[in-house]
Each structure stands twice: as C-alpha cells, then as structure tokens.
Amino acid sequence: MNCSDPSQYEGHVVLFHGPGKPLAWQATQWSCPKVGEVLVQITHSAICRSDLHTHCGHRAVTTPTVLGHEIIGRVVALGAQAPEVDLRGHPIAVGDRVTWSIYAHCGRCPNCQAGWPQKCAKLFKYGHEPVAKDGQPSSGGMASYILLRPGTAILVLEPSLPDQYAVALNCAMATAAAVTRQGEVARRKDPVVVVMGGGYAGLSTVALCRAQGAGRVVVVETQRSLHARALSFGADAAFHPEDDSLKAWISDHSSGRGADQVMEMAGSSAAAQLGLDLLAVGGVLMLAGTVFPSPALALDPEALVRRCQIIKGMHNYAPEDLVLATEFLAHDGAELPWDSLHGGLFPLAESQAAFELALQLPGKRVILMP
C-alpha cells in the first residue's frame, strides 16, 4: 500500500447522458486502491468506433456513463495484494506506463475456466459501466484516473512505443490479434485472406495476417478514399464490395479456390454475407465487427457442409492476444504508417469537439489527453 491521502486524486470525468445530449464535464475524485486494485493516471484515451456507436444511439448503454476503453496511463498507487508482475512477468511499479485488458474477469467461473475470460459471469468492462451523477465510480477512459480491478490483465509498455499508437492496443489491435489467432492464419500455408473494413481494427488485422504468413491479403472497404492506406498496411489489393473485379482477383490469386479466411471487421451484415460467398473449401469466416443489432445472414447449411466451412464469432479477446498485439506493435509492426490512422489530440475538456471530429473521420482515431 502506498496511498494515504485520497484528496490528491481529484480530477474530472466526462459524463455521457445519452445520444444527442451534450457531454458533461464533472469534477470527481478517486480513492486509494483497495485490495487487488491499481490506480492509474490516464494519459491517453482514444475514441473507438464502438464509443461512436454508443454516442449515436446505435448501441444501448445505461447512463450516465464514462465512455472510453482504449486507454493507457501511468501507475500511481498499488493496493494491497495488487498484482506484482504484468502479463509478461515484468514487475509492476509506480510510474510504469501500462495498458490493460478491456475487462476484469474472475478466473473461476465456467466461462473463465473454459478459456473465455471476456465472457466471465462477473465481467466488468471498462468504459461500459453506469456511474452516478457525480461520476462515481468512474471506470472509463474519459477521466483523469481509473481504478483497475482485480482480474484485469495489465501489461507494462515498452518505452519505444509511442503513446498515440499504444493507446489502441487494448481494443482495436488486441481484437485483431484474436481474430487472426482464431482464424488460424499462422496454421495454414500461404492463405488468401480477405479483410472486410479498412478502419483501425481492419488494418491491424491486415498487418497481423501479413506478419503471420498470409500469402495474399485483400481489403474490402466501402470508402474508396481508404483504399490506398490499406495497401500501405500490407494489403495486396483493395476493392469496393460492389467491384466486379473483387471475385476475379481472389480467384486469380487462389488457383480458383476462393478465400481461406474472411475477417469481418466492418460491422456489416452485408460484408459478412459477401464474405460467406467468397470462402474457399475449408475456409473460415471470422465475425468480429457486428457488435450491435444487425440483419440476419442467409445461410445454406448444405453448402456449408459440402464446402467444409467454418463460421466463428469473436468478441473482444483473451489476455494472450493483448500480449501478441503489443509485441507486434513494438517489433514487426513498428514501421507501419500508424500515423495515417491518427485523427488528432484533444484535451479532455474538449471531448465534445473531439467526438464531433471523430464522427467525420472514419477509420481514424481521435485521442483525448486527460
């Protein structure tokens, strides 16, 4: 325990009261970390696509809440019995710059035991929980501090990682790592991969697939202005979903087989439906983007059987995926043009302007600096 004066942890939160309502600036305070907790001063919090969906009313949340779950910060105090080491066995100390899993899990319930910590029976998700009018207890990124609960997977960041890249690790990039792992990219020989969506998670998926041995990677993106950027992240080609040349390209580059993996990161049933149509015999369709109510897919079970295909859903990720994403960003992926995914930096007090800009910059991250 190294915290005695709670008044030193005074700061602000930005309250979200519902779609169409202005974000509210609220003074609040944080107590010393209790047993197993870690208090972190937030340095950067990105506005993720799912925050925008909530802001626009596409996804229901109990309000008021403090949004923001792509967060990094510095450890300011450790509670009694707080974790002494991070996911990689690195000691956790006051002053360390850290990222952490988007959720806290119990480790003991049936889902945790079965290897699905993100579906824990006692799941606590940062940036998704309701708060009182005074902002207590805040657990989102649009705040000065955050208390990490027991069961949060913490990772000390390499000093070489720039803040504005590291901030997207614990949502967009870790989810991309989970999709790549579950899609078995590394276990197949030179697979032909289709990534639906050229946003942050989509391009992270492209880069990770490339690093894990994908033979060809093609991006399908409705906004043609984002196609050139997809190539700079390692895609061999980029198409609009309605381009006639898409199927011909995949056929030409797969000896007529089709795509070994389709990663749906765009959050579109139409993209998922198209992906099913593009799959090779034995292909895997990974669904990760549709995190809000979406139209059903048309599925021919006979075709699925005869073509030996797999459809998998992937929501969030396991702690190992956060490690995979962080090591990729620090090493193999360090030279990629991450700056092109950047929408700008705003002080926390200008959150409203930051959200308005983020809505106009699809495929880019706007970052708040509390």
Footprint on this chain of Zn ion (rule: CB under 5 A): 48, 50, 105-106, 109, 112, 120, 171
CB 4 → Zn ion: shortest distance, Å? 32
CB 141 → Zn ion: shortest distance, Å? 10
Nearer to Zn ion, 98 or 104 (CB): 104
Q: What whole-number distance in Å separates Cα of residue 191 and Cα of residue 201?
A: 20
CB 267 → Zn ion: shortest distance, Å? 11
- State the DSSP code for 118: G
CB 110 → Zn ion: shortest distance, Å? 8
CB-based contacts of 114, cutoff 8 Å, min separation 6 = none
Is the Cβ–Cβ distance between 318 and 331 less than 8 Å? Answer: no
Nearer to Zn ion, 105 or 216 (CB): 105
CB 151 → Zn ion: shortest distance, Å? 8
Nearer to Zn ion, 283 or 343 (CB): 343
Sheet holding 192-196, edge to edge: 237-239, 216-220, 192-196, 259-264, 279-287, 310-313
Nearer to Zn ion, 175 or 309 (CB): 175
Nearer to Zn ion, 138 or 254 (CB): 138
CB 45 → Zn ion: shortest distance, Å? 11
Identify residue 292 by its one-letter amino acid code.
Answer: F
Burial class of residue 340 (count of CB atoms within 10 Å of its CB; 0-12, 13-18, 19+): middle
Mode of pairing for the β-strands spanning 237-239 and 152-156? unpaired
* Tokens read off for 148: 């990490």
CA atoms within 13 A on the CB side of 96: 20
Concatenated DSSP letters of 221-271:
-S-GGGHHHHHHTT-SEEE-TT-THHHHHHHHTTTT--EEEEEE-S--HHH
CB 368 → Zn ion: shortest distance, Å? 14
Q: Tokens 């990161």 correspond to what residue?
A: 265
Nearer to Zn ion, 219 or 265 (CB): 265
Nearer to Zn ion, 61 or 112 (CB): 112
* Tokens read off for 306: 């005869």
Q: What whole-number distance in Å separates Cα of residue 65 and Cα of residue 136?
A: 9
Nearer to Zn ion, 67 or 217 (CB): 67
Mode of pairing for the β-strands spanning 145-148 and 70-78? unpaired
For residue 289, give the nearest of 221, 210, 217, 369 by alpha carbon.
Answer: 221
Q: What whole-number distance in Å separates Cα of residue 211 and Cα of residue 157?
A: 21
CB 119 → Zn ion: shortest distance, Å? 8
CB 309 → Zn ion: shortest distance, Å? 28
Nearer to Zn ion, 105 or 364 (CB): 105
